[in-house]
Structure 1
């Protein structure tokens, strides 16, 4: 039970070195309204003041050791005790000089012994009444402060409740058993209920059963990490479904005991529907691109077939070679589109696989005696986009076909080596080597009359690569070094005024 400070007994400290005087003071002031504490010396009184709180001090002036005047000065110097009223008692110092000295030391009254009991009780009653009034005023101020703070807290709580109730985002609070305790209008509306209908409802009832395992995984994460997010499908009152994004925030009381959690919900159905439309649109575009690559490849195959059929009517060997070279170039480009059509990614082609297929096609096209000439490949796994794959494929077509046709004449045996190496910083190195007869004396790569090597030069520049050649009677080696993602725009050759450029 809490005691009202205004009604509680008032603490009074009685100080006198004579026990009989203390007993007399105790008898005079005996009252249920007072709590009397006795001290027989200034030192004992000082210890009592250090440990307790007193409303009045009745103090003898003349005491051995620490006298009354000195004690009074010490009391007034301490912040805790400086406002305690002191009534001095004396049997020896009744003159004006001594009285003035007592008041100077901090006394509020000065009585001579023997003390008149009625006067002492009257004076003590005055200070006790003053103390009670002061305590009452302090109590009233504290009470008013508490009332003001409660009013402000209630106003803030009301404002918060209004804000939560009218928030655009759904907000609910659930107990440790995962039942709804409070639900704002936005949350209830998303679920198709009125707020009061959802009180005490099980949380899982508003989530599709198929998604509840995912929901509970997020709940367990919140229990250990205080917060979790999850996207699940919600179930409205009418059974219709909607997508909801939930943010779970754990709540605890002052003793850090678990009291439930907040659930912040946002209806993301429109976003999910937009995502599905985008996915469907992307799928349609992928199908369309696959069909385009397929048709481009088929059209190029038709052109190759026409060139092949036409070559059957050509008897001039030089013209026949030109037809076959053109057919080979078209096939190398058609094969790129075929790989893209067959690949899951429509943006990049597995160029290592493409080179293996292209090398096999060129080998069977130009090598009459497979026992004499062989094609060896060493290819790092590399994926290239269309703008890089088409010109690089044409370069490989020209260099490999030249080596297969001319490196080992008159039945000589040997190997043509096709290598693709992936280096640091997306740098690629393509090389075509043989150990055949080599290039003609005086050969200049930058000044050649053959269309194939002119194409190699032009396409290397388009790739922003560095092309080098080494040739002797021990063989020829072409090497092209370039970055995987050149800045050149557009794929294949560029034709200006009928000439490759």
Structure 2
């Protein structure tokens, strides 16, 4: 085969055909030439190197043997149509290599005409595009993977209960999830920091336009500052408003370069409304409890006055009994009075209350000016009212008895109170006097006196134990019980 048609000695432009042949054979792409009928009569060396063929094997229509049988019908149809129409065409199809593998080639075929416009030959080139197609395939796979990741992240962000707004490094909004759109009543992308407040109608808690430079997202963008739990008002297009609470922070890449900023928002309108309603309810409850304690105290004082009137008209024994009852009622009234003055309505600091109770009782009932009181109380021994009332009555009974009987044979003395709390939660109350002790054979536990019976009964109510010891150095009563667990303060 020759690259010239029969009878030709020069190319149409006078170029030496040998130079053309040498040039074509050294091209890195596959080249070939056919006559006007499409009969291929020449291939360059690169074709035979790639396909592992000889000129004789490829002459004419032998090229079909290196085509993928699945694609060959399409190639034949396109090539035949081009010959019939005289139009150039291009197509990508696989060619078999010398090793038997197929690689994709971009093939371009153009006609060459003489001065009369007649096609005298066809030129074809085949360019290996396997790397390009592999790259395109990888890019497509990566693009698909990226789209899938973005879709998954989009779905996750849209399912969040919080609104999410993302900006670029310069602050322009590039993303708003579905919740953020609902909270603002609109979706606006491309908004710059200077337009945040005006675009989304952001107000301070004082209902003034929110200064742009103080917005959490602006500070994250411009000052690289992370803010948390900021609050502002969003005035939406339909006239409704929500109280928003949000966090903003800048986002950096692995090299420390800021690439974005993120704002998360949640609607706390109902939360704040619930908090206000709860506070109003607690305030109302406090007022009610103040009033209850005040009225209980007044009612007990009224009962005390009635008992006092009744005691003045009865026998000596009745008068003593009524005075004892008045003293017990007075302790309860005193407790409610203390609760009325405090901020707590169901508990009291035991040490301070009992110290005051003992001091006042000694001052009121001491048989001489030389009898005094002494207290040692641990701080912050809190007791619920259910325990403090019976405890106070018992302490009052023990102190009153000491003042009545302990100092008959001496002019001076001391009534002492100690309040202690152990690490395991047990409370120890000690009432001590340095008087003459108990009469021989006297056992308070089996005493027929109403005061001691009341005391033992009330200590049992505390699920505690009342013990005593007596000598000529005085008498000691000890109350041991466990403090009830504190309920939430009311």
**Could you tell me the TM-score, scaled by structure 2's length?**
0.65
Match of 1:375?
373
Question: Per the alignment, do residues 349 and 203 of structure 1 end up closer, same or farther by CA in structure 2, a change over 3 Å counting?
Answer: farther
Match of 1:442?
441
Question: Per the alignment, do residues 179 and 303 of structure 1 end up closer, same or farther by CA in structure 2, a change over 3 Å counting?
Answer: farther
Q: CA deviation at 1:478?
A: 0.5
1:150 maps to 2:143: yes
> Equivalents in 1 of 2:170, 2:439: separation in Å?
90
1:169–1:266 Cα contact (<8 Å) kept = yes
1:209 maps to 2:208: no
1:207–1:232 Cα contact (<8 Å) kept = no
Question: Per the alignment, do residues 166 and 418 of structure 1 end up closer, same or farther by CA in structure 2, a change over 3 Å counting?
Answer: closer
Question: Per the alignment, do residues 136 and 188 of structure 1 end up closer, same or farther by CA in structure 2, a change over 3 Å counting?
Answer: closer
1:350 maps to 2:349: yes
1:329–1:394 Cα contact (<8 Å) kept = yes
Q: CA deviation at 1:462?
A: 1.5
Say which of 160, 172, 190 aligns to 2:183: 190
Question: Per the alignment, do residues 198 and 445 of structure 1 end up closer, same or farther by CA in structure 2, a change over 3 Å counting?
Answer: farther
| Unmatched segments (≥5 aa) in structure 1 | 1-26, 35-54, 59-84, 86-125, 488-501
| Unmatched segments (≥5 aa) in structure 2 | 1-21, 30-45, 53-96, 106-126
Q: When the two structures are aligned, how many residues end up with a matched partner?
A: 377
Task: Between 356-365 and 299-308, report the one with greater CA deviation.
Answer: 356-365
1:271 maps to 2:271: yes
Q: CA deviation at 1:393?
A: 0.4
Question: Per the alignment, do residues 410 and 471 of structure 1 end up closer, same or farther by CA in structure 2, a change over 3 Å counting?
Answer: closer
1:377–1:418 Cα contact (<8 Å) kept = yes
Q: CA deviation at 1:414?
A: 0.9
Map 1:4-153; keep pairs closer than 5 Å: 31=26, 33=28, 136-153=129-146
Question: Per the alignment, do residues 317 and 367 of structure 1 end up closer, same or farther by CA in structure 2, a change over 3 Å counting?
Answer: farther
Match of 1:473?
472
Question: Per the alignment, do residues 384 and 443 of structure 1 end up closer, same or farther by CA in structure 2, a change over 3 Å counting?
Answer: same
> Equivalents in 2 of 1:255, 1:409: separation in Å?
91
Deviations for 1:397-450, whole angstroms, at most 9, x for unmatched residues?
A: 100000011111156211111111222222221111111121121122331101
Match of 1:298?
298
Query: What secondary structure is seen at the aligned counterpart in 2 of 1:438?
Result: coil
Match of 2:339?
340
Match of 2:191?
199
1:350–1:383 Cα contact (<8 Å) kept = yes
Q: CA deviation at 1:231?
A: 4.7
> Equivalents in 1 of 2:27, 2:262: separation in Å?
55
Map 1:281-292; keep pairs closer than 5 Å: 281-292=281-292
Match of 1:388?
387
> Equivalents in 2 of 1:403, 1:271: separation in Å?
57
1:463–1:486 Cα contact (<8 Å) kept = no
Q: CA deviation at 1:301?
A: 0.8
> Equivalents in 2 of 1:444, 1:163: separation in Å?
78
Match of 1:323?
322
1:222–1:250 Cα contact (<8 Å) kept = yes
> Equivalents in 1 of 2:391, 2:473: separation in Å?
26
Query: What secondary structure is seen at the aligned counterpart in 1 of 2:443?
Result: coil
How much is the aligned-residue C-alpha RMSD, in angstroms? 4.3
> Equivalents in 1 of 2:444, 2:362: separation in Å?
24
More helix by share: 1
Deviations for 1:36-61, whole angstroms, at most 9, x for unmatched residues?
A: xxxxxxxxxxxxxxxxxxx9xx9xxx
Task: Between 336-345 and 175-184, report the one with greater CA deviation.
Answer: 175-184
> Equivalents in 1 of 2:374, 2:103: separation in Å?
110
Task: Between 291-300 and 422-431, report the one with greater CA deviation.
Answer: 422-431
1:420–1:429 Cα contact (<8 Å) kept = yes
Match of 2:41?
none
> Equivalents in 2 of 1:268, 1:440: separation in Å?
71
1:311–1:323 Cα contact (<8 Å) kept = yes
1:181 maps to 2:178: no
**Could you tell me the TM-score, scaled by structure 1's length?**
0.64
Deviations for 1:134-164, whole angstroms, at most 9, x for unmatched residues?
A: 9533432332232243245346546755775
